[in-house]
Amino acid sequence: MNIHEYQSKQILREFGINVPNGLPAFSVHEAVTNAEKLDTPVVVVKAQIHAGGRGKAGGVKLAKSAEEVRAVAQELLGKVLVTHQTGPEGKVVERLLIEEASKIKKEYYLSFIIDRHTASVVMMGSEEGGVEIEKVAAETPEKIIKEYIDPVIGLAGFQAMRMAYAINIPEAAIRRAVSTMQKLYTAFVDKDCSQLEINPLVLTEDDKIVVLDAKLNFDDSALFRHSDIAMLRDESEEDPKERIAAAAGLNYVNLGGDVACMVNGAGLAMATVDMLKFYGGEPANFLDVGGDSAPEKIAKAFSIMLEGGQAKGIFVNIMGGINRCDNIAKGIIEAAHIISKDGSSLPVPVVVRLEGSMVEEGREILRNTPITNVFAAPTMEGGAEQIVKLVAAAKN
Ligand code: ADP
Ligand code: MG
């Protein structure tokens, strides 16, 4: 789960980490009054969306007076901000962070993430922090320094020190940088983060170390023990289809294309997405229905895939193990009834490949159905090829 920058900073503040004074604002009026409360000559008005790259996209602006705060807040609130992380559709700005401006001497990059190879948290740092970090990672990866953290020992002082020197933090701020790194690591572990990224971590003109931007991601499986964090969920930032699917117990990820697929098991779902791509299709989603093939669940999955007209065809690829193929077939017919009322056809062609438990019964049900645009495919390859062709034909 993601949260907003101002919420991340509030959490880090509780760990004694140095973040600028700031207040969130949901309206122009609130932006102006909060800027006055901060009582500082220069504030920064920052668009709060669940994506980075705001600086370059005009979502982070300095304001030197109440009038300037008003003007910037008016411009940003309600605006669709398109950054290199939002995708072309962008995100609507509904909240702002009004923050004291820091006097920056230098910007660094610092992040913590779980490294699967070493099964530990890795701290990454770079002296080339700020808005160009993706370029640094792509062109000069040697400028990104890593420290692997032993989960039993935690982030040792010498490791933080080694990082601070490696990214050229000046002598006067080394101790502060070390302490900031250790507090950040504590926050990462205590809050069950899956990612914690500070970009930039800054050295100010008076040699303080300040967290100027913060991105925290949490492990969904651990949210049950952090009700305070779960409360921060901002549903307006999430894909509505993904939200409805999660509530129905379906693993659904929107991939943006037009060939929907419904599969059981994450491995098979990924292989199916690959197969559709292989035949030139653009997968609309990743959807793992899991081991439960109750017809209502299948019908729910169908309605999610069809919602909004994104899908031009559906490929059902089921390996019946725990799932029973006859239940899947019944679910498809039930979905047709729910969606089309008379149950005679579905809004888009559906290719079904069934294999495994009760497969003959399942195929029999599909053969006998009066639904006109459901096709049974004997193999996964053949099915993928067929649905891609049907979708291409529907588009022409
Ligand atoms: P994003 O990563 O989405 O572009 P940031 O919060 O990193 O947004 O802001 C972009 C840049 O704006 C920073 O690299 C920094 O130079 C500047 N900036 C952000 N917050 C402040 C602040 N409080 N004071 C001064 N400059 C800031
Ligand atoms: Mg940033």
What would the pLDDT profile of 192-243 be if each residue is shown by its tens digit? Answer: 999 999 999 999 999 999 999 999 999 999 999 999 999 998 888 888 888 8
Q: Is the pLDDT of residue 291 over 80?
A: no
Share of the chain above pLDDT 90, in %: 72
The Å distance, Cα 215 to ligand 2 centre, comes to: 8
> For 62-66, 102-106, 184-188, 243-247, which range has the lowest pLDDT when averaged over its residues?
243-247
Indicate the average pLDDT of the chain.
93
The closest residue, in CA terms, to atom 13 on ligand 1 is 130
Q: Is the CB of 101 under 6 A from ligand 1?
A: yes
Q: Is the CB of 54 under 6 A from ligand 1?
A: yes
pLDDT at 344: 77
Q: Is the CB of 212 under 6 A from ligand 1?
A: yes
pLDDT at 54: 96
Provide mean pLDDT across the span 358-368.
91
Question: Is it true that the peptide bond before 88 is cis, omega within 30 degrees of 0?
Answer: no
Question: Closest ligand 1 atom, CA of 55?
Answer: 4
Q: 3-class secondary structure for the chain?
A: CECCHHHHHHHHHHCCCCCCCEEEECCHHHHHHHHHHHCCCCEEEEECCCCCCCCCCCCEEEECCHHHHHHHHHHHCCCEECCCCCCCCCEECCCEEEEECCCEEEEEEEEEEEECCCCEEEEEEECCCCCCHHHHHHHCHHHCEEEEECCCCCCCHHHHHHHHHHCCCCHHHHHHHHHHHHHHHHHHHHCCEEEEEEEEEEEECCCCEEECCCEEEECHHHHHHCHHHHCCCCHHHCCHHHHHHHHCCCEEEECCCCEEEEECCHHHHHHHHHHHHHCCCCECEEEECCCCCCHHHHHHHHHHHHHHHCCCEEEEEEEECCCCHHHHHHHHHHHHHHHHCCCCCCCCCEEEEEEECCHHHHHHHHHHCCCCCEEECCCHHHHHHHHHHHHHHHHC
Question: Among 12, 212, 216, which residue has the most ligand 1 atoms within 8 Å of its CB, making it the best to mutate?
Answer: 212
- The reply, when asked if residue 99 is annotated as ligand binding, is yes
The Å distance, Cα 79 to ligand 1 centre, comes to: 19
- The reply, when asked if residue 213 is annotated as ligand binding, is yes
109 among known catalytic residues: yes
Tens-digit pLDDT profile for residues 39-96: 999 999 999 999 999 999 999 999 999 999 999 999 999 999 999 988 888 999 999 9
pLDDT at 189: 98
Dihedral (C-alpha) 86, 57, 229, 133: value to the nearest 10 degrees? Answer: 90
pLDDT at 298: 84
Catalytic residue among 5, 6, 100, 109: 109
Whether the Cβ atoms of residue 321 and residue 287 lie closer than 8 Å to each other? no
Among residues 189, 201, 121, the alpha carbon closest in space to that of 159 is found at 121
pLDDT at 292: 72
Q: Is the CB of 258 under 6 A from ligand 1?
A: no
Whether the Cβ atoms of residue 235 and residue 50 lie closer than 8 Å to each other? no
Q: Is the CB of 18 under 6 A from ligand 1?
A: no
The closest residue, in CA terms, to atom 16 on ligand 1 is 130
Q: Is the CB of 200 under 6 A from ligand 1?
A: yes
The Å distance, Cα 109 to ligand 2 centre, comes to: 9
- The reply, when asked if residue 59 is annotated as ligand binding, is no
Q: Is the CB of 60 under 6 A from ligand 1?
A: yes
Which ligand has its closest atom nearest to the C-alpha of 55?
Answer: 1
Provide mean pLDDT across the span 235-252.
85
235 among known catalytic residues: no
pLDDT at 370: 85
Share of the chain above pLDDT 70, in %: 99
Distance (Å, rounded) from C-alpha 272 to C-alpha 253?
Answer: 14
> For 2-11, 237-246, 274-283, which range has the lowest pLDDT when averaged over its residues?
237-246
Tens-digit pLDDT profile for residues 326-348: 988 988 888 888 877 776 788 89
Provide mean pLDDT across the span 235-259.
87
Question: Closest ligand 1 atom, CA of 103?
Answer: 25
The Å distance, Cα 386 to ligand 1 centre, comes to: 50
Which ligand has its closest atom nearest to the C-alpha of 60?
Answer: 1
Winning range, highest mean pLDDT, from 133-147, 171-185, 316-330, 346-360? 171-185
pLDDT at 19: 98
pLDDT at 342: 73
Which ligand has its closest atom nearest to the C-alpha of 57?
Answer: 1
Q: Is the CB of 58 under 6 A from ligand 1?
A: no
Tens-digit pLDDT profile for residues 261-274: 999 889 999 999 99
The closest residue, in CA terms, to atom 22 on ligand 1 is 101
- The reply, when asked if residue 54 is annotated as ligand binding, is yes
